[in-house]
Amino acid sequence: MAYVIIGTCINDSACVEVCPVDCIHPRPDEQGYASADMLWVDPEVCIDCNACAEACPIDAVMPAHKLPPELSRYEQINADFARESRS
Amino acid sequence: MTQGSDPLRVAIVGAGPSGQYAAVELLQRCHHAEVDLFDRTPTIGGLVRYGVSPDHAARRKVSDVSERMALSSGRFRFHGNVEIGTDLTHSQLSEHFHAVIYASGASSDRRLEIPGEDLPGCHAATAFVGWYNGHPDHADQSFNLDCERAVVIGNGNVALDVARMLLLSPEQLAKSDMADHAIEALRESRVREVVVLGRRGPAQAAFTAPELLELGQLSGVDVSVEGAAISDAPSSLRERLIQELQESPDTGQERRLVLRFLCSPLEISGNGKVERVRVAHNQLIADSTGTLRAQADGESSAIDCGLLFRSIGYRALPLPGLPFDEQRAVLPNAGGRVQTEAQQMLTGTYVTGWLKRGPSGVIGSNKQCARETVSALLEDWQQGRLTTPLGDLRELLQSSVPSAIDYAAWKRIDRSERQLGRDANRPRVKFTTRPSLLSAASR
């Protein structure tokens, strides 16, 4: 299980600043931040610490198991973004 | 700080996301900083209150969080209902502060520049957005909702906001924080189809993925995609989502949203009001840099509609007493330091947000933008480049802008709106005129 960023994300990046394992991208200093539709959590790196969820000003991060059905697709979307960024 | 324990006094003009991010950044990074935030409305929030659509109200919370962060410094004041450039001049403001940061955004929009644009029934999307969100400047507007089809020109998220607000059911709107006058008007709306026009293809559209994903989940609305060739290998999530919408079956819903690509408006016409728009059909041609551009293929067709919105971009307006880059519609600046056309620095004058970089990015993009501007300001402060303020701001406000309201007054508005919302099972019920806002402010 990992945390998942949902579509309400406004790219505030408060989550990026508090993440202890640097698993949220694109960081403001990374290429792609300016044009990013949303930020995403790399599920292979996330350690479920909840820091991002506490930092997010609009509650746009949550553990995957708490995603309501209409948002469940964001688990895959976060994972896809992470995979694409590695390739 | 090199300036001893003297406070660094900064005015920020505009209480939207860029002004709020600048205030928080400044207050957190410099413990000598004192911030006076000005807004021409009696409210805090800017486009978070008046732009973000009512069905995305979760995003409005960012404004509450910024407010709390600014307030907890104990060095933050708000002056609502004060327009800089009218109620107070830039030089009056400058004299009373070490620095002024302009964060007043882009309140106007780009025109289509085609015949018929001034016919009744043709509007700026921004005016409709301001109207349904209860902006006091737009409370008196009216829109022809007595027609079956509306057309929205533009391929950004605002175009989709407008389309959703026209197509959501009255029940969905009634539980949102949409302005009451808009809920009432839309309840009687006969609009059943909204066509969103893009001059290029799905791969070039500026809709973000979450907004596209949401379209596929709209209840009571069928979404179709026209004019776009299905790509064998969509290269982005956005494209994949548009393809999914294209492949989604028609379920016979009463309301319909059409994303129509590869056509440009040529002329709006009708007998004294908007009745149709003629569009040129385009093909994509790569230019010398490889960028795909729309080129008319010689064909054209007409779309009947009684309402038309242009949604091709926000545009900032020049501010009295300050330079302006007409081409880019920004306050000319170097990393947030305002400069004249001759690239001379205007000491103590800064800019952030859309007025600095043009209308791009999402709410949070303004945080990094504010960070750069605040860094420039703090460097100038440390280098002793800023001029010590003269005069008492309170005296100036009392004599020049007696109708200004303070933070406590804004909170009275905010609390009243939330209370009315609780009573009606809605996030809030907005006051939508200056008199009603000011009356709530004084209770």
Interface ipTM: 0.95
Nearest to A10 among B62, B211, B360 (CB): B62
Question: Considering Cα of B248, then B252, then B257, then B263, what sign does the dihedral take?
Answer: positive
Nearest to B368 among A9, A28, A58 (CB): A28
Nearest to A57 among B65, B208, B211 (CB): B65
Taking CB atoms and an 8 Å limit, are B59 and A70 in contact across chains? no
**Pair B1, B382: CB distance under 8 Å:** yes
**Pair B117, B27: CB distance under 8 Å:** no
* B65 close contact with A: CB closer than 8 A: yes
Residues of A in contact with B362 (CB under 8 A): 10-11
Q: State the smallest CA–CA distance between residue B250 and chain A in angstroms.
A: 20
Rounded-to-integer distance, Cα B24 and Cα B19, Å: 9
Rounded-to-integer distance, Cα B345 and Cα B271, Å: 52
Rounded-to-integer distance, Cα A21 and Cα A51, Å: 11
Nearest to A58 among B62, B208, B213 (CB): B62
Q: Is B319 exposed, middle or buried (0-12, 13-18, 19+ CB in 10 A)?
A: middle
Q: Any idea what DSSP says for residue A48?
A: -
Output the pTM of the full model. 0.96
Taking CB atoms and an 8 Å limit, are A34 and B208 in contact across chains? no
pLDDT value of position B4? 60
Of chain B residues 196-215, which have a CB less than 8 A from chain A? 208-211, 213-214
Q: Closest-CA residue in chain A for B55?
A: A8
pLDDT value of position A1? 76
Taking CB atoms and an 8 Å limit, are B58 and A58 in contact across chains? yes
**Around Cβ A84, how many Cβ atoms within 10 Å?**
11
Dihedral angle of Cα B128, B64, B357, A81, to the nearest 10 degrees: -90
Q: Closest-CA residue in chain A for B238?
A: A37
Number of A/B CB contacts below 8 angstroms equals 61
Q: State the smallest CA–CA distance between residue A44 and chain B in angstroms.
A: 20
Q: State the smallest CA–CA distance between residue B342 and chain A in angstroms.
A: 29
* B138 close contact with A: CB closer than 8 A: no
pLDDT value of position B110? 94
Q: What is the pLDDT along chain B (443 residues), one digit of tens a residue?
A: 445 668 999 999 999 999 999 999 999 999 999 999 999 999 999 999 999 999 999 999 999 999 999 999 999 999 999 999 999 999 999 999 999 999 999 999 999 999 999 999 999 999 999 999 999 999 999 999 999 999 999 999 999 999 999 999 999 999 999 999 999 999 999 999 999 999 999 999 999 999 999 999 999 999 999 998 767 778 889 999 999 999 999 999 999 999 999 999 999 999 999 999 999 999 999 999 989 999 999 999 999 999 999 999 999 999 999 999 999 999 999 999 999 988 899 999 999 999 999 999 999 999 999 999 999 999 999 999 999 999 789 999 999 999 999 999 999 999 999 999 999 999 999 999 999 999 999 98
Instruction: For A47-86, write each residue's pLDDT tens digit.
Output: 999 999 999 999 999 999 999 999 999 999 999 999 999 8
Rounded-to-integer distance, Cα A46 and Cα B11, Å: 41
Q: State the smallest CA–CA distance between residue B57 and chain A in angstroms.
A: 10
Rounded-to-integer distance, Cα A68 and Cα A42, Å: 20
Nearest to B237 among A11, A28, A77 (CB): A77
Rg (C-alpha) for chain B, rounded Å, is 23
Structure tokens at B267: 């002329």
Structure tokens at B6: 């003297």
Rounded-to-integer distance, Cα A71 and Cα B217, Å: 10
**Pair B403, B442: CB distance under 8 Å:** no
B210 cis-preceded (ω within 30 degrees of 0): no
Q: CB under 8 Å to A25, separation ≥6 — which residues?
A: A16, A32, A39, A40, A42, A81, A82, A85
**Around Cβ B77, how many Cβ atoms within 10 Å?**
16
Q: State the smallest CA–CA distance between residue A61 and chain B in angstroms.
A: 12
